[in-house]
Structures are given as structure tokens and as C-alpha cells.
Chains A and B, each alone.
Chain A
Amino acid sequence: MALRGKPRVVRLAMVLVPALLLAGCGSVQERASAAGDTATRFLEAVAGGDGEAACALLAPETEAEIDAPCAESILSEALPAPAPVTDSEVYGQRALVRLGGETVFLAVFPDGWRVVAAGCTPRGERPYDCEIEG
């Protein structure tokens, strides 16, 4: 009985394992795309002068680091103009999005991706130097 059942288990695994792997890849791509959208919306809000929309996309710790009222202060930060997303990498609860030469760090919250740091420039092995960060 067990021997007869085995091929079915193997067949099932042959279908399920690639399906789960593909689902996992699809999920990662969707999450990377969503992170890219948030980064773009954030930079577009800043460039369009909509400070409230920009602040609504900030992680709480990052918003807390900006002088109140956030909606006014965020517009005076030296943040880059929006550019097409060239790369978006997601690892667990964190994401990095590159827009042209700029880098934005994000983290996921129950309502979606929020910006943790923006206007970031690399410093080799050391952490990025960011205009705003939490």
C-alpha cells in the first residue's frame, strides 16, 4: 500500500515544489515592485510639494526624526527628484530601491511599505549617508 502510494507522492511533489518555488519568486517580485512604487510615490510627493502625502509614506521612526511639522520640513530636505526604478531588492521585512543614482531604504508595515531612509549615497563598506533616516 505504502509502496503503491509513493509514486503519487513523488508526482505530487514534482508539481508542488516548483509551483511553490514559482509562487515564492512571484511573491518576491510583487513585493519588490510594491516597494519600488512606494519609493516613487514618496519622491513624487516631495517633488510635487505634497508634504502630507510624503510624510504618510515615512516609517514612524523616520518621521520622528524630522522637525515638526513633518509636512513642511520634509519639503526642505535635500531629497532627489523622482526617477525610474532601476533596481528593487527585498529581503524579509526590508527593501532597497534604486531610482537612477539615488537609493531609498524601506521597511514593511501592516499597511504596506514605508520609507526608512532616502537621499542616500554609498560610503563603501560603511552605512549609506542619508538625507533622512530613522
Chain B
Amino acid sequence: MSRALRDNSLGLVFGSLFLIVLVGQAFAGHADFNHQQLAAGMEPISLGRYLTSASFAADVAENWQSEYLQFFLYIFLTVWLVQKGSPESKKPGDEGRESDREQKVGRYATEDSPSWARAGGLRRTLLSNSLGLVMGLLFVASWLTQSIAGMAAFNEEQLRDLQEPVSWARYLTEPDFWNRTLQNWQSELLAVASMVILSIYLRQRGSPESKPVGSPHDSTGVEG
């Protein structure tokens, strides 16, 4: 049991922290929503009602979509783009999808390779792109959810202000939608750019996200 916990500690800790923080967001968001309700002369709503509200769904989805976009872009762009000196990057000259031998697919698959790596056609193509594709699909699903929930939350505010509600198509052109979207995108892109560039010169001993402490600044694609 303790071995299993240790072997999966990274996923377990992040999964647990995610749930704890999501619960924290739910309580803080509920309190904030009710504060606005009281300010508008209305009654507070229950936690259950808040958790099924468009306001909560939009707040959650707008952050999720940007995280999945970040990983989707990072996974696909690091196939083709490099950053000299960064442990996050392949070495200059290694750009591209690499050979079947390097990727251990088809006849180069080993005994313990996933069976779809040995297979040809669609199955191999799917497995070869599954990480990026799933991140991309989760991004699209989260962004779509943000747009629908965001429209409902926006319209609730429109009605509070005695203004006309808008359709989903119209909401996609509203500053509210793009403000929610772009404020998350810019922070994710800043975080990736910071990681790529700072990891050239800075080290974190023992972390696979960093190169070994003694590695030269210009060594690329070396993880410690």
C-alpha cells in the first residue's frame, strides 16, 4: 500500500490539492455570490444552488480551458520549436516527429511497447498524438462550457441591470467573453515562456523539470 502511494505520489498529491482548492473556490465563490445578492436586495442562495449555477461553472471552466490550451500548445509546439539551453526543449536539429526507430513504433516497437505502437494505420496515429489530442479536446470542451455558462452568467447580470439578454452567438462577440478568455491565456503563456527561459539559467536540484545543477547554461534537453 505504502509502495503504491509512493509510486503515485505526484499524481495523488496534485489530484488531492486540486479537489481541496476546488472546494475552497466553491465556498469562496458562494460567499462572494451571496454578497452580491444581498447588495442587490435579494436573498442568499444555498451552496447546492451555487454549485449548479452558471456563475460557478463559468469561473471553473474559464480556468480549465486555458490550462488545457497551455498543455496542448506546449505539447505540439515543442515537436517543432526548440529553445537552446532549455531542459524543456529538444536539442536544436532534432525538430520534427523523429524516426520510427527513435519513437519505438512499428517494427522498432519493443516487447513492452503499447500494442497500438506496434500496430499500423489509425491506431498508431491515434496513440502517437493521443496526449496532444486529448489536451486539445479538453481545451475545446472547456472553452465551449465557458462560453455557454459565461453567457448565462452574463445574462443574469444583464437582467439584474434591466438590460436585454444576449444570444450565445452574440455573447461570443462580447467583451466579457474575451476578457475572461484572454486574461487566462496571457497568464498561461507567460508561465510557459518563464519556464522555458528561466530554466536555461536557473536550476532546481533533483527536479526533472530542471537540468542538473552543474550542467552548462547552453546544454539543451538535459533533465536532471
Q: Number of B residues whose C-beta is below 8 Å from A?
A: 21
Smallest CB–CB gap between A72 and chain B, Å? 23
Tell me the bound Cα distance from A95 to B40 in angstroms.
15
Evaluate whether A59 and B164 lie within 8 angstroms (CB atoms) in the complex, with A93-B156, A105-B159 already known: no
Q: Are A128 and B163 in contact (CB under 8 A)?
A: yes
B43 in complex: contacting residue of A92, A109, A125, CB < 8 Å: A109
Name the one of B42, B45, B155, B162 contacting A91, with C-beta atoms under 8 angstroms: B155
Complex Cα–Cα for A105 and B158 (A): 11
Q: Is the CB of A60 within 8 A of B41?
A: yes
Q: How far is the CA of A134 from the CA of B162 in the complex (A)?
A: 10
Docked Cα-Cα span, A107 to B45, in Å, equals 12
Decide if B53 touches A89 in the complex (CB within 8 Å). no
Q: Which residues of B contact A95 (CB under 8 A)?
A: 159
Number of inter-chain CB pairs below 8 Å: 56
Complex formed: what's the CA distance from A7 to B161 in Å?
48
Interface size on A, residues (CB 8 A): 25
> Of all chain A residues, which has the CB nearest B151?
A91
Q: Judging by beta carbons under 8 Å apart, are A94 and B160 in contact?
A: yes
Q: Does A39 contact B (CB under 8 A)?
A: no
In the complex, chain A residues whose CB is within 8 Å of the CB of B152? 91-92
B165 at interface (Cβ–Cβ under 8 A)? yes
Is there an interface contact between B162 and A92, defined as CB atoms closer than 8 Å? no
Map CB proximity to B onto A80-122 as digits: 1 under 8 Å, 0 otherwise.
0000000001011111100000000101011000001100101
Residues of A within 8 A of B43 (CB): 109-110
Choice from B41, B45, B159, B164 contacting A94 with Cβ under 8 Å: B159
Mask, B39-55, CB within 8 Å of A = 1, is 01111010000000111
Q: Does any Cβ of A come within 8 Å of B37's Cβ?
A: yes
Given A93-B37, A93-B45, does the pair A122, B164 have CB atoms closer than 8 Å? yes
Residues 15-54 of chain B, each 1 if its beta carbon lies under 8 Å from chain A, else 0:
0000000000000000000000100111101000000011
Say yes or no: A120-B42 contact (C-beta < 8 A), given A91-B152, A91-B155, A92-B152: no
Cβ of A61 under 8 Å from chain B:
yes
A91-B54, A92-B53, A92-B54 known; A130 and B42 CB under 8 Å? no
Residues of B near A91 (CB, < 8 A) are 54, 152-153, 155-156, 158-159, 165
Query: Which A residue sits closest to B41, measured CB to CB?
Result: A61
Tell me the residues in window 163-184 of chain B with beta carbons closer than 8 Å to chain A beta carbons.
163-165
Q: How does the 8 Å CB contact mask read for B182-214 relative to A, with 1 for contact and 0 for none?
A: 000000000000000000000000000000000
Interface residues of A (CB under 8 A from B): 59-61, 89, 91-96, 105, 107, 109-110, 116-117, 120, 122, 125-128, 130, 133-134
Interface residue ranges, B against A (CB under 8 Å):
37, 40-43, 45, 53-55, 152-153, 155-156, 158-165
